Amino acid sequence: MVSHSTLYWSEWMRSQMSISFAAENLVNQEEPFCFIIPDSIALTAWLDPSLTAHQKLISHPLGVKKLTSVKITINSDKHLTDAMSLLSTHSAVAIERGEPPLLELTFDEGISEKNLDARPILPILLKY
């Protein structure tokens, strides 16, 4: 069986780099695309916090340090793919159905009790 794929490229990617999506997965375009970068290859794993130049890359203007929760609200009644169900089941990402679509990212358990709401321009809410 021959499987066709579609390449995805964005401006932040190197010119020869792309992400391949199997055609079978593209039928679920109403479902969010999620990418998880393991700690072992994350930028922070390669940085040395004792170096001033690296501290600038590690620090964030909002003062946040760690992403502690991800919640995605989707407005689709379709069944989730196995990959998305697996993410949701193992608590990496909480997926809820509702209106309107929204990505909520919580940093440092929301200890500062502050919010940065990008709506209506982007469906993103940051809690920190």
pLDDT, one tens digit per residue, over 22-43 is 656 555 566 676 766 777 777 7
Secondary structure (DSSP) of 12-41 = TS-TT--EEEETTGGGGTTSPP-----GGG
Q: Are 102 and 117 in contact (CB under 8 A)?
A: no
Tokens 């001033």 correspond to 52
pLDDT of 2 above 50: no
Query: pTM for this structure?
Result: 0.68
